[in-house]
Every structure is written in C-alpha cells, then in structure tokens.
Structure 1
C-alpha cells in the first residue's frame, strides 16, 4: 500500500500460520475438488470447509480492521505512534526503560493479543527509544516481555480461558470476570515490576550500552 509520503507493506511469509496451515488448506481444497461430494471424505471436507468459513467470516472482518488501524497508527512521521512515543521519550528520558514493559502490557490488555500489542506499540517504543537515547533492541525486548505479561490481565483471554476451563469445571463459569482479573492482577504486577527492575538494573550498571 503506497500513499504520497507513506509506504507500508505486509510480509506474508513472515506469518507463521501461512506456510504450514495455508499450504495444508490449499492442498485440502485441491483434493476436495477432485473427490466426488458423494464420497464420505468429500462430504466431511465440504462440511468442515463450510463450518470453518462461517466461523471465520466475522473474525476476519475484525482482524482486517485491526491491521488497518495498526497500520494507520504507526505509519508516517506524523503518525500517532511517533507522536506518543516521541513525547513520552522526551518527557521521561532514559526513565522510559522503567515503563516500557508496562506499556506493552497495556497494549495486550486492549488488543487481547501479544502479537497485536507488539505490532501496534513497537513503533511507539521505537520513537520513545530514539527520543530518550535508549538502545532500540532493549526497549523492544521490554515491550515483548510486557506484552506477554499482559495476557494475564486481558479480558478477552480471561474469558477464553474461563470458557475452556469451564468445560472441565463448570463451577468456574460462575466466577465473574472481574474476580478473575483481580486475582491475576497481582502476578501480572509482580512480573512487570521484576521485568522493569531487571531492565533498569542492566541499564544503570552499563550492561546495556
């Protein structure tokens, strides 16, 4: 996608699911094309394709919208990501190291996905690192750690986990999401605090250049 002053591309081969699952799906579709629908496997494959297609229709719309929003958020010198990161980096200076992991967790809290948090907030972290004079790779490492920790406070992930565990323990389904969030907030805070402390310690002891 190219707009005057803005260039954006999406490297499909870097998506892990494309090669194993995409190739398998294409192979299955090709095989289904030559197998008569009257054949038992043909009927099974057709039913599976219809069911999966129905399930993916709405999530696909949301995913495409999320990718467009992420691209708009982080593309260009005047993008919100550059403004937010640059402002935060200038205000906090090298103290940005102390909050980088927490910022990554906030991204996962809202996005419900570590990948989307990294996709959306990595440009913010990059702009902050440049403004604060902090090594980019180290800030991005804290972003990744914080994004992973954010899974424990993401409502979307908590609801999914509740549904899965509820299949084995129905009593879990009666627990409100707010209670689950409060119980997981403590471990999340401890993990982010330890990660931030480790990052600051490495930075202050010159283990980071």
Structure 2
C-alpha cells in the first residue's frame, strides 16, 4: 500500500493526455464520479420495522422464488411489480412483517452483489493506476532517449509502439468503467424500487 501515493502522482501526470477515470484521486481505489457508498441502508428504504423472524413455512418456498426473481436485473420493474401484486393476491394472509422479511431478503442479495462489485471496481482502479504509471514511465524513457546526442531510434520506436499499445488498453478499460461505475447506483435504485412496490401492496 505504501506505493499507492507514487502511483497516484504518476497517474495524475499521464491523465493529462489519457481520459480521466475520476474527478479526483483522493481515494485511489474509487475511480467513479458517483459517490462511493460501501453499504446500503435497509432502514432508509423500508419504512416499517423488520422482525427478527422467519417467514411461515407455507410462505417460504413461494417467497424465496419471488425474491430470486426480483433481484434479477433482466426482470423489468413493471414485471417485478406485477409479480409482487400476484404474490400478494395469492397470499392474502401476508402481514406487514412478512412483506418486510421479503424485502430484507431482496435487500441482502442486492447489497451483497453491490458490495462485491464495489470491491471489484476498487481492484480495477489500482490496476489502472499502475498502468498509468507504466505509461508515464515509457514516455519519460522516450524523452530521455531522444534527448541523447545519438538516440537509439530502434529503441525509441519500440518504446513508442509499447506506449501506443498501453494507452489503447488503458483507454478501453477507462471506457468500460463508465458503465461499471453506474451499476452500483442502478442496483441501489432497483432495491429502492422493489421496496416501493412492496410498500404499495402493504398499503392497499
């Protein structure tokens, strides 16, 4: 970890000409413009107390299937709301506490996936910082070679080729991060939307 500040300085230098990953590098493990929130808060999404209990055995299989479906991002929120409404109609005995337990199961799955994604982004960021440092070191090596009275043009050409290749990889990865950085926010929005869908059937 002691190498991070050196890598950050190098990254800041190279980012003058390579697309930036973040507004600042105060946290080198977080390259996203979006604010980093390590863990979501159940209480901020679900307006009712969630009991320390389990769903009734007759409800659990259907509820588990509902949860497994709701967390899938390929399932649209319109579909998710319809599934919630169908499950509620099929189980008129559901209580506020039951709905809370269902949402907690959804929340725990989404929060777990989101936390793993944030950890992956952090590792990705450090790899990018290291790549930026290599790019800057190559630039300096080219400048040093060309400043000699008798430059080794073959070496300079080889360094230029390596520089272009490293920059291309860096830029491709930076573009990928634009999408990846949005995903934690999308997961947070999905969790909140599911909370709202469950709250609506509670209030009906």
Q: Given the two structures, how large is their TM-score scaled by the length of structure 1?
A: 0.31
Structure number with greater Rg is 2
The one of the two structures with greater contact order (alpha-carbon pairs below 8 A, sep at least 6) is 2
Higher helix share: 1
Q: Given the two structures, how large is their TM-score scaled by the length of structure 2?
A: 0.31
